[in-house]
Structure 1
């Protein structure tokens, strides 16, 4: 009897277990070779579905697909391959044992997310409990079928021996680095990532009748660099001082691109052309070193959309650029222990996910951290795509304070083990080399020489402080802005909370002869882009006031004559100043710093602490009076901010007594008894990790094309390609909602779930053309008219 791994739903074609194992192994090998872990990944792929080698599973599969009759029993096919390795080869040699633990953990976790080698509650570890299970159903039959295929045993032994040599090289490399146990834990997660992506990709290709294709990144980078240098030649003819300075920054990046791989800082003042300069480095460096991807990691989707479009325009290859805004699929419940055939809905969720297989990728800091530390299998697929890449962290100061240790560990790993080159790109560079663990910056890491001189050369604004002990209510801010309009034509007002922004917008929006525009994260990306385009088209033609949350302050290419910024960290004020007189349209622009009274910052500790440090140590210090945005002022600010944040921001997550970094560096595991050489506690780490304090859920909204996307998803088409296309498009029409917002809308019937509550869609009554998502369900239905 032919033992089956999959049956295609469309035409009932069959894929045998042996073919699936061989194909996944070959694909995983390709993924793992970039980090000298090809044998680890191939061995994991070759054994991962070994537990399907039973007559019972083939009958179960045929019933599920052909008869649409899914048995209620759970089919554990993930443990057998790990148990086979452990029973056959464990205990012979220490390094070989480490390989078996690394590969075995990837195998037994491939439908659940990584498990623990060490349990915090002193119970037997997940790994030991499962590989020593003497009553695993059908195990003897599985081994008999596997070993009956000529060459299977020989292949396992060959791959195991090769993996041992890979692991010896890995141990030698990390022996010269600080925190070696961190690198071991992340290496084990990376092998897991290679397996997950190979398994899901092979299954999807079988379902769609396709073959795996490789992106031609070298061609994309060559063509992109050629187009970019063509623009450089034209821009170098521009004799204006500001553009000459931007060209100088760009030239510096081109020179450094031939230097060895490393972790570098690119401290370009706001308006200095960071996107263009970093792209010039990335394209040239990727070509010089044969790298597969260029990845931009940004704090806000607003920057993501703008910068992705700028890069498409420069390289003239729009199909080569992926924007990954948010996770439309909410699968917190989807990964845990389920097989593809628990339901057709779940199968589509598992296979219909993007795995970052593009030459150039734009994503967010949340998605980057989730690829390393979020639980389940979905986001882990992407982790291996971050290796052998040029990674540009745009506005790196936006890393959440409580996660700096995890961020630094990930970045160090990607460079030292993953072979990636890193650019930390911002106008306000935090002291990442003085954190624990520090980032292993390259020698002479700063790409821009003479930072103080460069900052002076780019100075285009004058900062005026109106900060006193009492805050300004919305009415006073409105009056102040209207007074400024007598002598200026465009004002950007940035406040710290959506509630304060909405209140001020309502006060200002009734004015005649002034276009007032609202921006916040309650609006989907497509909606925000449309509003930003309206602002840009109005500047210089009519009087404009834009009232926004901080989403506009970092990296958005827009220029106002005047900016009003509610008190925040000095880095935020500097970023806001970058939206003022950006292209030196006038001699000096004006930035006014105020204290807004309508902001509740009790649940925004980083903003609160930043505001306090700015007021107490920068605005109050006379030596910074005329140099508030200087490198020295920023350095002083970050020093005080880090000291106060360490005292006031709890690094350990709620419900846990230890920093999550202690689960990586082995310090917590060393206190526990264990029966494995590995000390990983990844399941515990992932269960407690949230990239942001208040986790959110993406909801597709009925704005523009969002209505059609919702309608198509409601039809529940069985076409995988169509489903993938809809999910990618839906990112532009999604809003991330906090749990209390989701509950409020659900209680009034304003949200409806699809695909077993894996995707959520918003009703029309809850999406306002002015404000975006509105919790009262009373949104205006007529399009907003200017």
Structure 2
């Protein structure tokens, strides 16, 4: 018997034929939702065809039983793609597309997607490999594969079915702008179905487990019933005017749930209850239209944490909700391994996690974009779980400007091809349907009618322009805050940089008339959550001053009497205003716009441009003086912002002369003479794509329970369940650091590696009780008993 795997703990064997059949079965299930079941099944059936050799079986036995892993990598990923190319390529155009799509998924399933077209026009990765006449053991592979009854017939049948699927796919994308982009994304979707099926089958065999079975329909049904019980309680209680308005918004979303899958907008003013209203739509819509999961995509981890907790409370099923912030473990090398038995144990544990197979998922915009455009296999694996879903983009205006073409294309793809229902949710809706690469909104896509009346009804603040062209230093801002505190019991100050926040905090912390708190992304999520809970407990009982970066603006349910906002985009000012007089405690709250001199925005062009547009076109226009947050003002803001950003924000990545979208939409290929029907440049796009311009690394910090997690990860963990539990907890005790911060900490011996050098952690001197991460190494943490 020729083998695909040998279980390491009891030496049980899995034959190649069993493995490819089981992977094909799973991949088919993943692909069915998008009418790509045959593509996915055939990719699964041929992906490990290269293991049909005695040589590979011998290699496995030596690796597992004798612990003698050969240093030379065995190419078992090319044979299946070459087999398709040799036997089915050149017949007709549709069949050629099918062969290329499935073949690319197969030959990429360990290394990540390759190119159909190279920048330098050299032979492509795909063609070079499928036309390789010297592929070792290929003749033996074909002989052994075809000797098994039914294999060749199955391939022929699936090719015919896949051609029909491809014909249907082409019909879907024909009306869209630049249909070639959607072909590329479809090919990546087939790849996602394959690698998740392969990783899941491998992990289940190794752990001797059955495939996980989801009962998401029951979760949605129970969750909606619990939600409606909350609505009933509200209606029977003492309903304030604000809560009445919030309930009306959620009722509109409930009514919208029966509408067909499309791309909708939900424009609710800050404090209008977007989370509750969107969840009401999502739970009901998922039941009516048999969606597989609900996914919330948010810009900041603070929103993710709070909203995930709120959803758990509403649906009363905490285990049904996954929070996925970032990857604490450094497992990029998993993508590069030739075979499972060359992977260290801690990386094998990664094979079963983070594929978003949960009923309700909260993740970030960075993780969403990475699933489509980031390199390797680990993140692409999640892509297929974004199909047949309800996807809520919270604060959609936070998409990095240079990535709007890629984001808008992904959203169109998920709706048109992926059968997902999309909700673009924000108080300040950008004109995504008017961009060069636009989102295809449904006619009458807005869920909230009479938007002007709704905005007026939610008006709870007065906005005061205090912008000094020269800017205020930290001392002047501190004096201004102290004056506000003479008339107010609480004030929130939001500045644009962590450095400016810390400097102002150090000035204000010296006064003794109020409780002063610092918030920034230098603090781990658990630390920020603790600080926010402390603030909420003191508001209304004693004087409170909070100095924060913009992390507090969106999604954080907290209310101050006054807010001071450093000049930024009108969308940010609207979000800041949402933290003032949030529940109508006062007749009117006060929001002051100032310009902080201590902020250096040269590396934050979107904040700089946003501030300039706000100052030049909104604050200076008398027609918006009394209603800065009106739909008309927001529309005018985004019109000018998009125009200026188009002129000033570089859309081509460093080191590349082309926009990334041009490598996918066929415009680059049209100038060349591609040798294949497909022209996708996946490897090149993934090489240059960065969801954020300055990538960060997640580092564990010794705050509270974080100390115990660090201690546990210093040990050799063999238990898969325990490891996953620790990784889930670790996200609450990690901070994302830039490269220069890592280098500074390393130079002071403040950072260490653990768990086979795959996870980084800070020592006690590098984490401060007030500020979080400190590069000076002079932190003092209080001692707690766990």
Range into which the TM-score falls when normalised by the shorter chain? over 0.9
What is residue 223 of structure 2 aligned with on the other side?
224
1:704-783 matches, within 5 Å, as: 704-782=704-782
- The answer (yes or no) to whether the contact 2:715–2:755 under 8 Å persists in 1 is no
2: CA distance, partners of 1:759 / 1:103: 35
In structure 2, how many angstroms separate the alpha carbons of the residues matched to 1:341 and 1:554?
Answer: 45
Q: CA deviation at 1:346?
A: 6.5
Residues 320 and 446 (structure 1), Cα distance of their counterparts in 2 relative to 1, 3 Å cut: same
Contact 1:120 1:672 in 2 (8 A): no
Contact 2:334–2:343 at 8 Å: present in 1 too?
Answer: no
Separation of aligned partners in 2, 1:92 and 1:432 = 41
Provide the rounded CA distance (Å) in 1 between the counterparts of 2:151 and 2:347. Answer: 29
SS of equivalent residue, structure 2 residue 486: coil
Q: Which residue of 2 aligns with 1:572?
A: 572
CA deviation string 1:435-484 (max 9, x = no partner)? 12110001100111111111011000000111021111111111111111
In the alignment, structure 1 segments of 5+ residues that lack a partner are none
Partner residue, 1:510: 510
SS of residue paired to 2:565: strand
- 2:157 aligns with 158
Cα distance in 2 for partners of 1:771, 1:69 equals: 49
Query: Counterpart in 2 of 1:278?
Result: 278
Structure 2 residue aligned with 1:671: 671
Comparing 226-235 and 106-115, the one that deviates more: 226-235
Counterpart-to-counterpart distance in 1, 2:752 and 2:8:
27
Instruction: Show the counterpart of 1:113.
Output: 112
Q: CA deviation at 1:759?
A: 2.1
**Which residue number in structure 2 is paired with residue 51 of structure 1?**
50
User: Counterparts of 1:707 and 1:157 in 2: how far apart (Å)?
Assistant: 57
3-state SS of the aligned residue for 1:43? helix
Q: How does 1:345-384 map to 2 (within 5 A)?
A: 345=345, 347-348=347-348, 350-384=350-384
Match of 2:87 in 1: 88
- Taking the aligned partners of 2:145 and 2:732, their CA distance within structure 1 comes to 47
Matched, 1:13 2:12: yes
Q: By how many angstroms is 1:79 displaced?
A: 0.6
8 A Cα contact 1:566 1:593, kept in partner: yes
Q: Whole-Å Cα distance in 1 between the matches of residues 365 and 716 of structure 2? A: 31
Contact 1:25 1:41 in 2 (8 A): yes
**Residue 415 of structure 2 aligns to a residue in which SS?**
helix
Using the TM superposition, give the Cα deviation of residue 240 of structure 1 relative to its aligned residue in structure 2, in angstroms: 1.8
Q: CA deviation at 1:348?
A: 2.0
Cα deviations by residue, 1:404-453 (Å, 9 ceiling, x for unpaired): 00000000000000000101000000000001211000110011111111
* Equivalent residues in 2 for 1:144-183, closer than 5 Å: 144-183=143-182
CA distance in structure 2 between the partners assigned to 1:372 and 1:172 by the alignment: 22
**CA distance in 2 between partners of 1:211 and 1:343 (Å):** 22
Change (3 A) 1:120 1:337: farther
Q: TM-score under structure 1 normalisation?
A: 0.98
Q: Which runs of 5+ in 2 are unaligned?
A: none
> Matched residue of 1:485: which SS?
helix
Q: CA deviation at 1:756?
A: 4.9
Q: CA offsets, 1:581-637, max 9 Å, x none?
A: 000001000001100011000000000000111111111111111111111111111
**Structure 1 counterpart of 2:28:** 29
Q: Is the 8 A contact 1:375 1:687 kept in 2?
A: yes
Q: Note the alpha carbon deviations across 1:145-178, whole angstroms, 9 max, x for none.
A: 1111111111111111111111111112212222
Q: Does 1:600 align with 2:600?
A: yes
SS in 2 for 1:679: coil
**Partner residue, 1:235:** 234
Q: Residue 554 of structure 1 contacts residue 575 of structure 1 at CA under 8 Å; is this kept in 2?
A: yes
Q: Is the 8 A contact 1:334 1:346 kept in 2?
A: no
How far does the alpha carbon of each residue in 1:679-704 deviate from its partner, in whole angstroms, 9 at most, with x for none?
A: 11111111100000001111111112
Aligned partners of 2:349 and 2:720 also within 8 Å: no
Contact 1:670–1:679 at 8 Å: present in 2 too?
A: no
Query: Which range moved further: 259-268 or 228-237?
Result: 228-237
SS at match of 2:336: coil
Residues 739-748 or 640-649, more deviating: 739-748
**3-state SS, counterpart of residue 335 of structure 1:** helix
> Aligned partners of 1:755 and 1:51: how far apart in 2?
33
> 2:60 matched to 1:66?
no
1:110 positional shift: 0.4
Aligned length: 784
Q: Distance in 1 between matches of 2:675 and 2:757?
A: 40
Q: Please, which moves more after superposition, 570-579 or 202-211? A: 202-211
The one-character-per-residue Cα deviations of 1:178-231 (angstroms, maximum 9, x if unpaired) are 211111000000000000111111111111111112211110111111111111
Instruction: Give the 3-state SS of the residue equivalent to 1:517 in structure 2.
Output: strand
What is the distance in 2 between the residues matched to 1:500 and 1:418?
44
Residues 1:481 and 2:489 are matched in the alignment: no
Shift of 1:11: 1.8
Corresponding residue for residue 700 of structure 2: 700
Contact 1:345 1:756 in 2 (8 A): no
Partner of 2:523: 523
Q: In structure 1, what is the Cα distance between the partners aligned to 2:346 and 2:121?
A: 34
**For the residues of structure 2 that align with 1:781 and 1:533, how far apart are their CA atoms?**
19
Deviation at 1:350, TM superposition (A): 4.5
* Counterpart-to-counterpart distance in 2, 1:625 and 1:369: 37
In 2, the alpha carbon distance for the partners of 1:592 and 1:223 equals 44
For normalisation by structure 2, the TM-score amounts to: 0.98
Instruction: Give, in whole Å, the separation in 2 of the partners of 1:440 and 1:463.
Output: 34
Once the two structures are overlaid, the 10-residue window that deviates more, 758-767 or 529-538, is: 758-767
Query: Is the contact between residue 106 and residue 191 of structure 1 (CA under 8 Å) also seen in structure 2?
Result: yes
Q: CA deviation at 1:783?
A: 5.0
Shift of 1:342: 1.8
- Please show how residues 536-547 of structure 1 align to structure 2 within 5 Å: 536-547=536-547
Instruction: State the secondary structure of the residue aligned to 2:33.
Output: helix
> Which shows bigger deviation, 4-13 or 327-336?
327-336
